[in-house]
């Protein structure tokens, strides 16, 4: 969007100003000349607005009715309207976390369900809700050098988690898991204090902050008790498996003590008997951990979260 936001005068948005447009929308100091037909087709909110009896005198701009979107951020409104009007809308809309937040929030506000489903379809591969989908994503990370995960920073994931809590609860557990994995005392600011983006403050709800507070120790307990219990007890092996046990834990435990329960694990340096037992425990344990992941964060079951997402 190429608009001088420092100006006090309303300005036309170049890429959403159609000379034959039939309505002008204003968000902050930015004007969009677009089409009532397209808005009505995708949004019952706008369809109802346009069919209501109109006052005899209405505000106009450039010989079009002017409707002010009083509560909407100009950049958010731009992304929402561009996604509705342009079938070839830039892919960046679907890989920019703050654009996605805007699309989810405004598609809910204006009842643009087709757009909401399109955004969620884009997000699903990056926020898996099954262990099989999680393993596919993990394998891409490991084996596809061209693969780049689009949401890298804590502020991006915080913003998405805020949106997903209402828009797509089934994608929320993985978002919280990502925050647990990348958070530390040095990076806790966005999680505690929130994120400044597009002129507004995006902050995790108290429920999600509590979820993260209780989640990390719960995940560590699952690593110790469900996924890797044999690493925390004497093996009884006559080889050097007890030494390997200590070395393995030292290598895979983060400085803050976090031991991730979900990665696929191999134990090549252990004897055959210990290796088979460890790998069996790890595979069964990570599946149990995944099934309990929503409960780990104090959320409803996977099935209930999926139902809430579908019902929207």
Smallest CA-to-CA distance from 142 within 29, 242, 264, 267 is with 264
Minimum mean pLDDT among 39-48, 57-66, 218-227: which range?
Answer: 57-66
Q: What is the pLDDT of residue 45?
A: 95
Whole-Å CA distances, 223 to 1, 111, 268: 47, 42, 19
Q: Strands, DSSP E only, in the chain?
A: 11-17, 23-27, 30-34, 60-61, 64-68, 195-197, 200-202
Task: Look at strands 64-68 and 60-61 and give their pairing.
Answer: antiparallel
The reply to whether 312 falls in a domain is no
CA distance 31 to 68: 9
CATH, residue 73 = 3.30.710.10
Whether residue 220 is found in the same domain as residue 236: yes
Whole-Å CA distances, 100 to 9, 39, 90, 174, 273: 28, 19, 12, 17, 49
Residue 141, token pair as written in the block: 């990370």
DSSP state of 64: E
Domain holding 283, by residue range, is: 127-299
Whether residue 106 is found in the same domain as residue 78: yes
The b/e string for 85-106 (b: 16+ C-beta within 10 A; e otherwise) is beeebeeebbebbbbbbbbbbb
Q: From 96, 122, 148, give the residue that closes a domain.
A: 122
Whether residue 27 is found in the same domain as residue 160: no
The reply to whether 253 falls in a domain is yes
CA distance 128 to 177: 11
What number is the average pLDDT over the span 14-22? 95
CA distance 153 to 158: 9
Residue 115, token pair as written in the block: 């757009």
The reply to whether 219 falls in a domain is yes
Residue 222, SS3 per DSSP: helix
Give residue-wise pLDDT tens across range 200-257.
899 999 999 999 999 999 999 999 999 999 999 887 787 788 899 999 999 999 888 8
The reply to whether 90 falls in a domain is yes
Q: What is the pLDDT of residue 275?
A: 93
Whether residue 143 is found in the same domain as residue 289: yes
Whether residue 164 is found in the same domain as residue 266: yes
Q: From 98, 122, 146, give the residue that closes a domain.
A: 122
CA distance 220 to 222: 5
Whether residue 139 is found in the same domain as residue 282: yes
Whether residue 194 is found in the same domain as residue 213: yes
Whole-Å CA distances, 307 to 168, 170, 208, 304, 312: 10, 8, 20, 5, 8
Whether residue 259 is found in the same domain as residue 275: yes
What number is the average pLDDT over the span 295-310? 96
Whether residue 178 is found in the same domain as residue 281: yes
Q: Which pTM value belongs to this model?
A: 0.89
The reply to whether 311 falls in a domain is no
The answer to whether residues 193 and 274 touch, using CB atoms and an 8 Å cutoff, is: no
Whether residue 257 is found in the same domain as residue 140: yes
Q: From 87, 122, 157, give the residue that closes a domain.
A: 122
What number is the average pLDDT over the span 58-79? 93
Number of domains making up the chain = 2
Give residue-wise pLDDT tens across range 92-151.
888 899 999 999 999 999 999 999 999 999 999 999 999 999 999 999 988 898 898 999
Residues of the chain with pLDDT > 90: what percent?
76
Whether 4 shows a pLDDT value over 60: the answer reads no
Whether residue 136 is found in the same domain as residue 276: yes
Q: What is the pLDDT of residue 208?
A: 96
Based on C-alpha coordinates, what's the Rg of the chain?
A: 25
Whether residue 99 is found in the same domain as residue 184: no
Mean pLDDT across the chain, nearest whole number?
A: 91
The reply to whether 5 falls in a domain is no
C-alpha 67 chain-centroid distance: 31
The reply to whether 305 falls in a domain is no
């Amino acid at each position: 969007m190429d608009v001088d936001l420092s100006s006090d005068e309303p300005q036309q948005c170049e890429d959403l100003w159609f000379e034959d447009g039939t309505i002008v929308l204003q968000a902050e100091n930015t004007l969009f000349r677009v089409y009532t037909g397209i808005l009505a087709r995708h949004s019952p909110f706008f369809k109802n607005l346009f069919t209501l009896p109109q006052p005899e005198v209405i505000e106009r701009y450039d010989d079009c009715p002017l409707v002010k979107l009083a509560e909407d951020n100009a950049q958010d409104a731009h992304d929402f309207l561009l996604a509705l009007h342009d079938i070839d809308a830039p892919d960046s809309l679907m890989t920019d976390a703050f654009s996605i937040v805007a699309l989810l929030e405004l598609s809910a506000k204006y009842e643009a369900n087709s757009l909401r489903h399109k955004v969620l379809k884009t997000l699903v591969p990056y926020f898996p809700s099954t262990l099989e989908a999680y393993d596919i994503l993990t394998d891409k990370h490991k084996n596809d050098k061209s693969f780049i995960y689009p949401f890298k920073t804590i502020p991006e994931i915080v913003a998405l988690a805020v949106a997903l809590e209402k828009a797509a609860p089934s994608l929320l557990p993985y978002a919280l898991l990502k925050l647990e994995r990348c958070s530390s005392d040095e990076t806790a600011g966005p999680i505690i204090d929130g994120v400044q983006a597009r002129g507004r403050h995006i902050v995790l709800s108290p429920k999600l902050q509590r979820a993260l507070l209780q989640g990390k120790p719960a995940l560590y307990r699952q690593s110790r008790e469900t996924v890797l219990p044999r690493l925390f007890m004497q093996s009884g092996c006559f080889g050097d498996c007890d030494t390997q046990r200590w070395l393995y834990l030292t290598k895979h435990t983060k400085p803050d003590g976090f031991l991730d329960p979900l990665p696929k694990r191999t134990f090549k340096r252990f004897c055959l008997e210990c290796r088979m037992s460890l790998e069996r425990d790890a595979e069964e344990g990570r599946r149990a951990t995944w099934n309990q992941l929503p409960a780990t964060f104090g959320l409803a079951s996977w099935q209930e979260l999926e139902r809430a997402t579908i019902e929207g």
